[in-house]
Amino acid sequence: MQPSPPPAPSSNASQQRRSWWGWGTEDKALPDAECTALGALLPGSAATPLSVPRIASLTLPEVRVTPPSALAHLMSAAPRDRAAHTYGKAYRDVARALHGDLAAAPDQVAFPVTEQDVVDVLDWAAGADVAVVPYGAGSSVVGGVEYRNTDRDADRHTDRYRGVVSLDLSGLERVLEIDRVSRAARIQAGALGPALEGQLRPHGLTLRHFPQSFEFSTLGGWLATRAGGHYATLHTHIDDLVESLRVVTPSGVNESLRLPGSGAGPSPDRLFLGSEGTLGVITEAWMRLQDRPRHKASASVLFGDFTAATDAVRAIAQSGLYPANCRLLDPGEAALAGVAREGQSLLVLGVESAHGPVDDRLAELVTLARDHGGSLAPATRGADDTDAAGTWRSAFLRMPYLRDALARMSVITETFETACTWDRVPQLYEAVRRELGAVAHKVTGADAMINCRFTHVYPDGPAPYFTVIAPGRRGEEVAMWDEIKSAAMQILGDHGATVTHHHAVGRDHRPGYDRQRPEPFALALRAAKHALDPAGILNPGVLFDPGSR
Amino acid sequence: MQPSPPPAPSSNASQQRRSWWGWGTEDKALPDAECTALGALLPGSAATPLSVPRIASLTLPEVRVTPPSALAHLMSAAPRDRAAHTYGKAYRDVARALHGDLAAAPDQVAFPVTEQDVVDVLDWAAGADVAVVPYGAGSSVVGGVEYRNTDRDADRHTDRYRGVVSLDLSGLERVLEIDRVSRAARIQAGALGPALEGQLRPHGLTLRHFPQSFEFSTLGGWLATRAGGHYATLHTHIDDLVESLRVVTPSGVNESLRLPGSGAGPSPDRLFLGSEGTLGVITEAWMRLQDRPRHKASASVLFGDFTAATDAVRAIAQSGLYPANCRLLDPGEAALAGVAREGQSLLVLGVESAHGPVDDRLAELVTLARDHGGSLAPATRGADDTDAAGTWRSAFLRMPYLRDALARMSVITETFETACTWDRVPQLYEAVRRELGAVAHKVTGADAMINCRFTHVYPDGPAPYFTVIAPGRRGEEVAMWDEIKSAAMQILGDHGATVTHHHAVGRDHRPGYDRQRPEPFALALRAAKHALDPAGILNPGVLFDPGSR
């Protein structure tokens, strides 16, 4: 065991001020002129961007609860803190923020800096009937960090809870311990991706969990939501990288044994992974690390036919070759990213190893793709930013900012991701394009752009990720989005596809989740919830309806 | 989807009559003369073998409950059925059976042939206050299929339950459906390993889950106990091969969605995996399959030093090369198997693929082993049964029969397996040999043979499997075994190692499990149990104490 150094200085990006209403940092948001230019590409969108409300002009609901004096130093009811912790970053969150709708703002934002602070906040909240919404860095796109009164007719003063606290874990950001021999580290849950990797880098180690939200999400958030990461195959979810968890529950601190594997009863960690803050607050985890990769290779393969491309991906997923990257862009997605000609699909393959050369493995993968009708895209080797894969990757990290710009132009965008077995893929792909296209047309009066990529692939099926873009009517964006979202969930359910592969359930996916979750398991989970959180204060409305008093 | 053929005819081995008291089939048990010869190799063992009681001479406790007439055709109270379902196959089970101690015999054995039969049995049992012990093929080595009154002073008529039924799932043995595209099959839980593989073979598919108990254990048993299988790396436990489960609980049938991956809340399947029959009875599962491997290669590497061998295994486990086999035998284990000279450790490496040649990967693995001081063992390539690896593999399947022969010679044998992070391995290995050796000496008065192998390895640690052999005193075998087992669990706990990596908790591992399981998780699991099994009839004493009425 070696002590870890203090947190590395934040990167330039995270030193910039975080946006309270939209993705990432304020400096990266598109200026008005670019929003307008972007909107002009989409017939039917608004002519001018919605302006971003100034904090000072926001109407925030009155503060109903104040912390006891012992906790006052951890809490803030400052308008900027409350506004920034009202929502996650789903489209409907951004749309509501842009329209100045902050009715769901928490009364207080708590900023614990120690685990004991977390315990103290929960103790107080349980006694005071205050709901607690755990908050990592707020990148939820499923309503996971927003308090929502399930009784829509009730006003704030007839609510089930006397108040709401957003529990911001970002003060717990240290790598506490490193076991170089076992390649594992004990890391606090509030560490953002770059801070975490920055503290591991001096040891030659990496977690290599790179979700799209990497810069603006935390280890604890990844764990609580079963986030999908860097790897397109094998260790796709953060779940597999967990050695043990430490979770503060209202019924005590739950710490599992550090183990490389075990068969002693149902896995304790698997109950908390995906519990989305409803069973406890994850404060630390021992995470499995890797040596930094020294060998990397990538290639991009074009297909004239999406079906052939799907077959190629299936063959690759079933080959046992386990590429680190295996992302398939359908023709619409590839065209949008500017990496393929009309009608072509693009498959981005990547292999990496800390151990030895990977070129042979890449060649095998490319051969498999060619056997299914693919052809190597031009300039597919070389520096990441000069090839098709690199182009797409840069666009990937820019996408949420573009989504926000479109939101300012009242363009509805919805992304939803799923997974299903291979036998269902053609029907699902077709149904989303046809049926969801029809719904989007009915709702918006325009033809929606509906694209798809496979972000992760398994031997028994892919994780398709759909994007729907259509011009909305100003002031009606949220209602229109809700209608499209509801239809999307229905289609997934109809085709045996999960309501989410790696974006979590939150509040937005509840209808689909409630249909998908087996009823006996629901009984068991509710019973577990009641045992761990008898006062029912933890993230009410996520996964379950809040229990009665 | 293709219909699957009817079950393939059983192999010769399983057509033989199953032993009611010991491992496997009666024809493979060692005859008296071989038992005596084996015992003679171990100074201090008995001079003559315990004789195997005849069924007719057994004293079975009286039958307390009879089924209602609607279920009578599913049930048997025949002495052979009751005797064969009294215990699993732990050493203490065999020892008790040999001494004719069948006080724990179930009142009835139920043989359902449909899922509805399972539902009906549970319905009746819940209403009649009858405990139900799910039974696959009875290979448990942890007291997982034995009813044990936790109040040791109570007699059978003051028991918490009015009777006990062993629920033998072996009638549910069909592969019901195959999805060739997604490489998955819907399989009934009672299918034995050979029957299951026999039904998959015509489709060119395989589950490739080969525990030592393969011939005499079922899919449902593997799932309920999180069994370890064929693969030494990556997909070590059956957990990873599960697409969905169907579980009959007293509160309804729980069927999860078939999914290649999901992030929708805590995994429903992971609650039932490892639940050991306490939350419900698994009746079916969709399992992920593989193409049959066409390319295989193996090599054996000798090390003069166990520490160097351990370092080699760690390097291999962290290399990302994922060998299918990576089993390290310490000097005692290698000597016992006759595959190494005094003091040498043996590492068996195997790679396999349905996709392409594996020789390069094997060469990389061997290079890694050589870099850590290993040298290729003679005749390490070629037919499985002519090399060191093959020799060891044959012995591996024979081991349980030898264990039984030793039991007949009143020799105590205890095998226990665990997992821990690499940083703890040297201390654990040393502690088991020194401290457990001391306990075994105190208990038996003789020097115990204590050997170790690594059966599975992970990037962050191995799964060591220890064998303890010492001559016992006739009539005191069970008490002696209990003392050694208790000390073994204590040592594991002291070193942060799990009480079991793939043998389950059952009743025998309860003390270690109770210490290891985080208390909030215990609260949650008990609450889940109560929600699913409100009458508390399912496998009482496993994982939890039976609840009060």
B255 touches chain A (CB under 8 A): yes
A307 touches chain B (CB under 8 A): no
Q: What is the pLDDT along chain B (549 residues), one digit of tens a residue?
A: 444 444 444 444 445 899 999 999 999 999 999 999 999 999 999 999 999 999 999 999 999 999 999 999 999 999 999 999 999 999 999 999 999 999 999 999 999 999 999 999 999 999 999 999 999 999 999 999 999 875 555 566 668 899 999 999 999 999 999 999 999 999 999 999 999 999 999 999 999 999 999 999 999 999 999 999 989 999 999 999 999 999 999 999 999 999 999 999 999 999 999 999 999 999 999 999 999 999 999 999 999 999 999 999 999 999 999 999 999 999 999 998 888 899 999 999 999 999 899 999 999 999 999 999 999 998 644 444 456 666 666 777 889 999 999 999 999 999 999 999 999 999 999 999 999 999 999 999 999 999 999 999 999 999 999 999 999 999 999 999 999 999 999 999 999 999 999 999 999 999 999 999 999 999 999 999 999 999 999 999 999 888 644
Query: Residue A378's pLDDT is what?
Result: 81
| Nearest to A295, CA basis, from A357, A207, A217 | A357
Q: Tell which B residues from 449 to 468 touch A, by Cβ distance under 8 Å.
A: 456, 458-463
Q: Distance of alpha carbon B339 from its chain centroid, rounded?
A: 25
The reply to whether A234 touches chain B by the CB within 8 Å rule is: yes
CB contact under 8 A, B256 and A521: yes
B368 in Cβ contact with B301 (< 8 Å): no
Smallest Cβ–Cβ distance between B267 and the set A179, A259, A270 belongs to A270
Is B18:B218 a contact under the CB 8 Å cutoff? no
Would you call A523 and B259 a contact, using CB atoms and an 8 Å cutoff?
no
Percent of chain A surpassing pLDDT 90: 88
CA distance A489 to A492: 5
Q: What is the pLDDT of residues A31-48, one digit of tens each?
A: 999 999 999 999 999 999
**Amino acid at the residue B484:** I
**Contact (Cβ atoms closer than 8 angstroms) between residue B533 and residue A285:** no
> Is pLDDT of A395 > 70?
yes
* CB nearest B520 (choices: A182, A276, A532): A532
Crossing angle of helices B32-40 and B388-408, in 10° steps, is 100
Q: Does B291 touch chain A (CB under 8 A)?
A: yes
> What ipTM does this complex have?
0.95
> How far is B428 from chain A, CA to nearest CA, in Å?
14
Token pair of B517 as six digits: 């399981």
DSSP string, A483-504: HHHHHHHHHHHHTT--S-SSS-
Q: How far A543 CA sits from the closest chain B CA (Å)?
A: 7
DSSP string for B353-411: ESSS--HHHHHHHHHHHHHTT-EEPTT-SSSGGGSHHHHHHHHHHHHHHHHHHHHHTTE
Average pLDDT, chain A: 93
Q: Which residue has the tokens 């809490």?
A: A75
pLDDT value of position B545: 87
Cβ contacts (< 8 Å) between B255 and chain A: which residues?
518
Whether residues A525 and B274 touch (CB distance < 8 A) is answered with no
Q: Is the Cβ–Cβ distance between A267 and B270 less than 8 Å?
A: yes
Neighbour-count burial of B307, counting CB atoms closer than 10 A to its CB (0-12 exposed, 13-18 middle, 19+ buried): middle
| Residues of chain B contacting residue A492, judged by C-beta atoms under 8 Å apart | none
What pLDDT shows up at residue B91?
98
| B307 in A contact zone (CB under 8 Å) | no
> Is the CB of A252 less than 8 angstroms away from the CB of B520?
yes
Q: How confident is the model at residue A452 (pLDDT cuts 50, 70, 90)?
A: very high
CA distance B429 to B435: 10
Q: Which of B146, B254, B145, B242 shows the shortest CA–CA distance to B528? A: B254
Q: Is B543 on the interface with A (CB under 8 A)?
A: yes
Q: What is the pLDDT of residue A13?
A: 43
- On chain B, the residues whose CB falls within 8 A of the CB of A182 are 421-423, 459-461
**Residue A543 host element (H or E):** none
Q: Hey, what long-range contacts does B151-156 have (CB within 8 A, 24 or more apart)?
A: B156/B61, B156/B64
Terminal Cα-to-Cα distance of chain B (whole angstroms): 46
Contact in structure between B199 and B7 (CB atoms under 8 Å): yes
List of chain A residues whose C-beta atoms are within 8 Å of the C-beta of residue B253:
520
CB atoms A523 and B532 under 8 Å: yes
Is A523–B543 a contact, with Cβ atoms under 8 angstroms apart?
Answer: no
Could A501 and B261 be called an inter-chain contact, meaning their C-beta atoms sit closer than 8 Å? yes
Listed residue (B198, B86, B67, B40) closest to B125, CA to CA:
B67
The 8-class DSSP code of residue A180 comes to T
Structure tokens at A147: 């308090």
Q: How far apart are CA A271 and CA A258, in angstroms?
A: 16
Instruction: Please name the residue of chain A whose CA is at the shortest distance from the CA of residue B513.
Output: A264
A363 in contact with B at a CB cutoff of 8 Å? no
DSSP A237: B
> Residues 413 to 432 of A: which have CB under 8 A from any B CB?
419-423
A 167-226: CB under 8 A from B:
179, 181-184, 225-226
A251:B523 CB<8 A: yes
CA dihedral A282, A285, A288, A293 (to 10 degrees): 80
A260, A321, A497 member nearest B460 (Cβ): A260
Cα→Cα distances A528→A9, A548, B251, Å: 40, 15, 16
CA atoms of A491 and A420, how far apart (whole Å)? 12
Q: Which residues contact A85 (CB under 8 A, 6 or more apart)?
A: A105, A106, A109, A135, A138, A145, A166, A168
Going A501 to A507 to A508 to A510, the CA torsion angle's sign is positive
Q: What is the pLDDT of residue A517?
A: 98
Q: What is the identity of the amino acid at B103?
A: A
Contact list, B268 vs chain A (CB under 8 Å): 517-518, 521
Give SS3 for A158.
helix
Rounded CA-CA distance B164/B109 in Å is: 9
Map tokens 């009364």 to a residue.
A107
Question: Which pair of structure tokens corresponds to residue B392?
Answer: 């060891």
Contacts of A319 in chain B (CB under 8 A): 355
Give the mean pLDDT of A459-466: 98
- Residues of chain B in contact with residue A253, where contact means CB-CB under 8 angstroms, are 520
Distance CA A431, CA B145 (A): 48
Cα separation of B499 and B514, whole Å? 10
Burial A147-174 (b: 16+ CB within 10 A, else e): bbbeeeeeeeeebbbebbbbbbbbbbbb
Q: What is the DSSP string of A352-380?
A: EESSS--HHHHHHHHHHHHHTT-EEPTT-
Contacts 24+ apart (CB under 8 A), B70-77: B70/B120, B71/B110, B71/B120, B71/B121, B71/B124, B74/B110, B74/B111, B74/B112, B74/B113, B74/B117, B74/B120, B74/B121, B75/B108, B75/B109, B75/B110, B75/B111, B75/B165, B76/B108, B76/B109, B76/B111, B77/B107, B77/B108, B77/B109
